[in-house]
Amino acid sequence: MRRGWGLWAAALGVYAFLYAPLLIVIVYSFNDSRLNAEWVGFTWHWYGVLLHDEDMLQAIGNSLFIAGVSSLAATVLGTMAGIAMHRYGMKVLTFMVLTPVAMPEILLGVSLLLFFIQVLNLTLGFVSIILAHITFSIGFVAVIVRARMAGIEESIFEAARDCGATPWKTFLYITFPLILPGVVSGALMAFTLSIDDFVITFFTAGVGVSTLPLRVYSMIKIAVTPEVNAVSTLLMLLTLTMIVLATRFSPEVLRGKA
Amino acid sequence: MNSKVRSFFSRARLAKLTVSGPPFVFLLLFFLLPGIIMVIASFRYPGEFGGLAPIVSATPETLHGLTLETYRFFFGDAIYARVLFKSFLVALATTLICLALAYPLALLIARSPKKRRDFMVLLVILPFASSFLIRVYAWMILLGPQAALSQALNGVLGALGMAPVHLLFSPFAVLAAMVYVHLPFMVLPLYTNLEKHDPTLLDAAQDCGANAWHRFWRVTFPLSLPGIYSGSALVFIPVLGMFAIPDILGGTGDMLVGNLIKEQFLVTRDWPFGSTLSIMLTLTVLLCVWAAAKLGSTRGHYA
Amino acid sequence: MKTLLALGLFALCAQAVADDVLHLYNWNNYISEQTVERFEQQCGCRVVQDYYSDNEEMLAKLAAGATGYDILVPTGNAMESLIRQHALRPLDKTRLPNLKNINPVYLNTPFDPGNRYSVPYAYTLTVLGYNVEKTRELGLPTDTWAIIFEPQYLEKLKGRVTVLDSQRELMAAALKYLGYSANDTDENHWEQASRMIIRAKPYWAAFNASSYIKELTVGNIWVVHGYSNDIFQAGLDAQKAGRKFHVAASIPKEGAVLSLDSMVLHKSGPRPDLALQFIDFMLEGANSAELTNLIGSGNPNQDALRFIKPEIARNQSVFPDQRQLARLEMLRDLDRNQRRVLSRIWTKIKLE
């Protein structure tokens, strides 16, 4: 229709704006040149460098481990929170669950740094990073689970109660299967968030434990080579798969955080 | 009968405790408590070698106790208020630009047939799949002095007889990256809202003789305000505290309050002052949220 | 049962293997891989390295509770801070026969009188790096800090100068140029220096921690305030890339900062014996020279001189002569109030 033209053009422009920079990163990861300036030739060289970069591989391993553990814990806690928020309202819990998501990350990072050092006297490392990641991931999982819960007919729970099911049985046989897509989706989101997190990890990682974003950051600051592009491309592939899977399981993810 | 009701109640209460307990305790420990620690830290002295001085000390001559010193230091010089204000402006600019860019996209998605909508939204979220740092790094490449954009621009400027500009390490780079990183956060709530609009309203408006612009401005826009507010909050607040983007892409003067805070904790080792700055940032965020809520409520009937 | 046994054995082995590990916390790019490998062969152990890119980062991480490092390589003022915090182990000099190789000029610094805790490792100078052809073409003086502070010179260099993004280093250069000591803590002098910096800032391209090296090599930047080994590297890179210009460094006549990095033992390190072995290893001329040959860092080891490539040994910004040494200063640590004031001044500098 005629009236759509301007709108289409503008929207496509925005899509282009969103994707062009990323495509450049991917394209230049195959560029046979140290500088990310002009296209010289196609090469797998930088991926080879990546595979031999011990520090990078270690960082990737750390990131995967941290993401795995923290997303698991965040999913459990977040699911519980999501159910509680939907079922019981609970203003205080809702506040504590949602605020870490909405507030500037640096505040969370800094306060956790203070807490770990001053109160717990904890040496920063895996434990501190994992705890930090769980804290901000709970909110994401909770929101998705809550939305999922909202989509379930209340009458089902009433019927279960009438049949004499205990709350635990109701959860196990009714609630959980119904929200499972949301839970899986939340887990995938939590995993993605953990792998990608920079700001909070920056403050709560000690020495000795490096994650992928931290490594990329130090590479960006010190010596940029297309190896960064290579690792970025691979990371994008991974998180892309995760997000597509997440939205498959639970379209609530696409509704944004309401 | 009574004991049955009682046992049922306690079972329900137990269920409530079991479900809400663990996340509650966890967040209390790792979110609320650190926040309180930070507030207290802002009232402490800096440690001799960095960190914090103890509140109580065995040796009386070491500095200890609580003080308003850091707050006096903060308010004692206009520079810090300026940094906060600057961060506020950057956040505002980013939000407005995001709004301008996101609106057409959100509108288009909302008006597309349902089958395509989810896919289009997925396309918006996917860049979010790349790490935040990668997205910032992408702009480093785009704006680099040898990249096409810079060459083209400076070519044009050169032809017009003007001095070449550095696109990278400038406020422009910071703003561009800020918008780029936060755009999806504006699109999603906006689209969620626009999707719910009743198309018959627009038909009615058209019947009343309103042209396309009027239809948008008088009908669509006001109805979309709640979406605009959610999206704005999701962009404004994180940008306010952002430090990584000015740190990587910014020039010398592009220091925002986030950079200051990071510097206090990781360079100057002045933890009390870093905490004070963080408290000030939090208060600014709360102030903005409160102001926005006030603004939103006056237009109450569309909320 | 069998699995339990296997796990137990594995744990024991892991423990045994873990014990023969030396944890080294060092600057980025501050030791040659070959040196590390040779040491690993000699001691039959493994060296695990972590890196930092400036002293502040190292101190901040240590303050944040990083433990388990046997050896650190802090610069003088950071070491001073660590000594005062009682964070270091005193050295058992009987295990360091090669200590005699060190040039006495670098021993007995005010940070560690008598070298109770530290052994000099390497040093760098914070100097001027410049594009020889460009500066000659523009008729600019390259032996003074004025080239980065005075508008009359900066006008010709607009957008082609970078300075270090370090509070202490930039302040030190400014203070030296104004004729004060780099360790001057008079707030008025600081204010004066900051005004001069703010006046020069519009001409500078950026405050850079490390990417200035590349820019110098590529020819985008013509004058830098940077570290001698970085500038040396830039010069080599430019040569290798076949650039039509040369990159050189010079110690300005007003003086500059000498950063002496020393090896120290952190008290939380699990293997001080391995650490001492490593230090003695690094005190051998041949091993010490490898770093200098690699990155062009200054070497306080006299025995190393015969192993160093002649073009580096001749380079005055890497090995300053007596006269130049007299103009160099090492930075002292500041107390907390001074740090706070400097931080505020730095914020103003960044924001103006």
pLDDT recorded at residue C6: 53
- Span C136-151, mean pLDDT? 91
A45-74 pLDDT per residue, tens = 888 888 888 888 888 999 999 999 999 999
With CB atoms and an 8 Å threshold, state whether B230 touches A258.
yes
CA A36 – CA B271 distance, rounded (Å): 38
- Span A101-122, mean pLDDT? 86
Q: Please report which confidence band the pLDDT of residue B237 belongs to, taking 50, 70 and 90 as the band edges.
A: very high
- Two structure tokens written together for A87: 């079922």
Phi and psi angles of residue C24, each rounded to the nearest 5 degrees, phi first: -115, 125
- Span B28-32, mean pLDDT? 93
Lowest pLDDT segment from A37-46, A171-180, B66-75, B294-303: B294-303
pLDDT recorded at residue B302: 43
Amino acid of residue A2? R
CA C176 – CA C336 distance, rounded (Å): 23
pLDDT recorded at residue C15: 47
- Two structure tokens written together for B209: 């003789």
Residue of B nearest to C86 (CA): B49
Judging contacts by C-beta atoms under 8 Å, the chain C residues touching residue B47 are 63, 336
Question: Looking at the predicted structure, is the pLDDT value of residue B291 above 90?
Answer: no
> Using an 8 Å Cβ cutoff, are C35 and C290 in contact?
yes
B189 touches chain A (CB under 8 A): yes
CB atoms within 10 A of CB B148: 12
For A256, which of B139, B188, B261 is closest by C-beta distance? B188
B47 touches chain C (CB under 8 A): yes
C1-13 pLDDT per residue, tens = 565 555 555 555 4
* Residues β-bridged to residue B46: B52
CB atoms within 10 A of CB C171: 23
B99-115 pLDDT per residue, tens = 999 998 888 888 888 88
Q: Quick check: helix, strand or coil at residue A3?
A: coil
CA C159 – CA C22 distance, rounded (Å): 45
Q: What angle do CA B244, A96, B196 make, to 5 degrees?
A: 85
Q: Greater confidence, B70 or A224?
A: B70
> Using an 8 Å Cβ cutoff, are C138 and C245 in contact?
no
For C64, which of A35, A113, A222 is closest by C-beta distance? A113
C25 sits in which H/E element: strand C21-27
pTM of the model: 0.83
Phi and psi angles of residue C300, each rounded to the nearest 5 degrees, phi first: -80, 5
Q: Greater confidence, A26 or B54?
A: A26
pLDDT recorded at residue C73: 94
Kindly provide the residue ranges of all beta strands, DSSP E only, lying in C61-209, ordered along the sequence.
71-72, 88-89, 118-131, 161-164, 204-208
Cβ neighbors of C14 (< 8 A, separation 6 or more) are none
> Using an 8 Å Cβ cutoff, are C175 and C189 in contact?
yes
CB atoms within 10 A of CB C213: 26
Judging contacts by C-beta atoms under 8 Å, the chain C residues touching residue B266 are 56-57, 60
Question: Looking at the predicted structure, is the pLDDT value of residue A193 above 70?
Answer: yes
pLDDT recorded at residue B301: 46
Q: Quick check: helix, strand or coil at residue C298?
A: strand
B153-192 pLDDT per residue, tens = 888 888 887 777 778 878 889 999 999 999 988 888 888 8
* Residues β-bridged to residue C257: C126, C329
Q: Which has the closest alpha carbon to C229: C288, C299, C161?
A: C299
- Span A126-130, mean pLDDT? 91
With CB atoms and an 8 Å threshold, state whether A21 touches B12.
no
Q: Report percent pLDDT > 70 for chain A.
A: 92
Neighbours of chain C (3+ CB pairs under 8 A): A, B
CA B247 – CA B259 distance, rounded (Å): 7
Report the length, in residues, of chain C. 352
Residue of C nearest to A114 (CA): C64
B183-217 pLDDT per residue, tens = 988 888 888 888 888 888 888 888 888 787 888 88
- Span C138-146, mean pLDDT? 91
Judging contacts by C-beta atoms under 8 Å, the chain B residues touching residue C335 are 48
C-alpha distances (whole Å) from A231 to each of A76, A205, B260, C49 are 30, 20, 30, 22
CA C146 – CA C164 distance, rounded (Å): 16
For B79, which of C85, C204, C348 is closest by C-beta distance? C348
